[in-house]
């Protein structure tokens, strides 16, 4: 039996809570925000999210507005010239982020939500339920995410709803795996037994005992999955599976203007840069968070 350090604190304390042995360590989010990489990521991703959300209001032209002859790099009254169809590249760029971002966020919420539910349930149930759940998800995991999405979307029409469902569901097994791993360690701890002993319901044990203790992992995972979802939805658009054919969309823009790359590079460069900046920024945030969770920058493992 290991003797755990207890000698440095009062055994029968008196007075106010100021006699507490130590101050509470700052939250994961706050620790991550102290890191340069997280700060940069937050700025970069923040700018891209702002462009995606507010861009349509700033755009000088509509997303489908014809402004001049196609593929002209310095067409009059445009900032970055015209695209393959004679539309304003800058306006389409400003219009093209919102749908991707909204779909990605919806898909992430769906995927991470379900994945977390399955992961925690598997970890808590253990035994046969755990095996069944995780092996079923393993089978899904065997298919590449893009391939699985393509098959499903090809079967139905590529509406926003289908894209969210597909991207969301293909995210589930990956998230479930991570969350189960994080929850396994928590389930073993005695406070779970203490909750069971007073008869807390399974739902309460899952969501108010286990979940708060894996929230840091969840935060990292959600952010990471958002990054992937943006990339995946842009890729699907590039491959021609666009939810709304009439609107602009960064992935679609790359595909449309790809053939005129040498003549009018802006049509490809702007959306590519946008997707890259959004994913890199997001990635930096995830990295900062995960470093805190794993305790990398403190030189010790986080239990």
Instruction: Report if residue 200 touches other proteins, rule: CB under 8 A.
Output: yes
Q: Which 8-state DSSP code applies to residue 82? A: B
| Cα–Cα dist 154/238, whole Å | 14
Q: Does 4 sit near other proteins (CB under 8 A)?
A: yes
7 to 26, contacts with other proteins by CB under 8 A? 7-17, 20-25
Which span sits near other proteins by CB under 8 A: 70-78, 139-147, 186-194, 247-255?
186-194
Is residue 122 within 8 Å of residue 283, measured between CB atoms? no
Q: Residue 247: how many CB atoms within 10 A of its CB?
A: 17
**Residue from 194, 245, 261, 276 that binds other proteins (CB under 8 A)?**
194
Which one among 6, 139, 155, 301 touches other proteins, defined by CB under 8 A?
6
Q: From the CB of 235, what's the least distance to other proteins, in Å?
A: 38
Q: d(Cα 270, Cα 272) in Å, to the nearest integer?
A: 5
Question: Does 240 participate in binding other proteins (rule CB under 8 A)?
Answer: no
Q: Is residue 30 a contact residue for other proteins (CB under 8 A)?
A: no
Q: Which is nearer to other proteins, 138 or 196 (CB)?
A: 196
**Shortest distance (Å) from residue 93 CB to other proteins:** 43
**Residue 174 Cβ vs other proteins, minimum distance, rounded to whole Å:** 25
Residues 6+ apart with CB under 8 A from 253: 83, 92, 93, 96, 267, 268, 270, 271
Nearest to 264, CA basis, from 67, 94, 85 = 85
Helix H or strand E segment including 145: helix 145-155
Give the nearest distance from C-beta 26 to other proteins in angstroms.
Answer: 12
Q: Which stretch binds other proteins (CB under 8 A): 196-204, 237-245, 254-262, 265-273?
A: 196-204
Q: Does 139 bind other proteins (CB under 8 A)?
A: no
Per the structure block, which two tokens stand in for 170?
A: 């293909």
Q: Does 209 bind other proteins (CB under 8 A)?
A: yes
Nearer to other proteins, 76 or 299 (CB): 299
Is 199 a binding residue for other proteins by CB under 8 A? The answer is yes
Distance CA 140, CA 115 (A): 12
Token pair, residue 219, equals 């935060």
Report the phi/psi class of residue 201: left, alpha or beta, with left for phi > 0 and alpha for psi in -120 to 50: beta
Residues forming the site for other proteins (CB under 8 A): 1-17, 20-25, 189-191, 193-200, 209, 212-213, 215
């Amino acid at each position: 039996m290991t003797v755990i350090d207890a000698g440095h604190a009062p055994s029968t304390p008196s007075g106010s809570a100021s006699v507490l042995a130590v101050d509470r360590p700052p939250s994961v989010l706050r620790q991550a925000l102290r890191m340069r990489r997280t700060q940069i990521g937050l700025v970069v991703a923040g700018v891209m999210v702002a462009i995606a959300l507010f861009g349509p209001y700033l755009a000088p032209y509509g997303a489908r507005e014809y402004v001049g002859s196609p593929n002209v790099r310095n067409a009059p009254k445009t900032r970055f010239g015209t695209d393959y169809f004679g539309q304003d590249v800058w306006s389409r760029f400003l219009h093209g982020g919102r749908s991707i971002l909204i779909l990605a966020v919806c898909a992430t919420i769906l995927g991470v939500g379900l994945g977390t539910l399955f992961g925690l349930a598997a970890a808590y149930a253990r035994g046969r339920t755990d095996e069944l759940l995780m092996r079923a998800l393993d089978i899904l995991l065997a298919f590449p995410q893009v391939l699985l999405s393509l098959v499903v979307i090809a079967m139905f029409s590529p509406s926003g709803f289908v894209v969210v469902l597909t991207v969301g569901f293909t995210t589930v097994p990956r998230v479930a795996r991570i969350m189960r791993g994080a929850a396994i360690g928590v389930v073993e701890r005695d406070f779970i037994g203490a909750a069971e002993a007073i008869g807390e319901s399974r739902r309460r044990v899952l969501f108010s005992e286990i979940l708060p203790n894996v929230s840091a992992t969840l935060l990292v995972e959600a952010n990471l999955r958002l990054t992937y979802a943006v990339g995946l939805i842009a890729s699907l658009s590039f491959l021609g599976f666009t939810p709304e054919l009439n609107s602009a969309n960064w992935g679609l823009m790359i595909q449309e203007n790809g053939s005129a790359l040498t003549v009018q590079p802006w049509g490809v460069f702007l959306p590519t840069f946008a997707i890259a900046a959004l994913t890199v920024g997001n990635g930096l945030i995830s990295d900062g968070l995960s470093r805190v969770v794993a305790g990398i920058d403190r030189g010790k493992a986080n239990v």
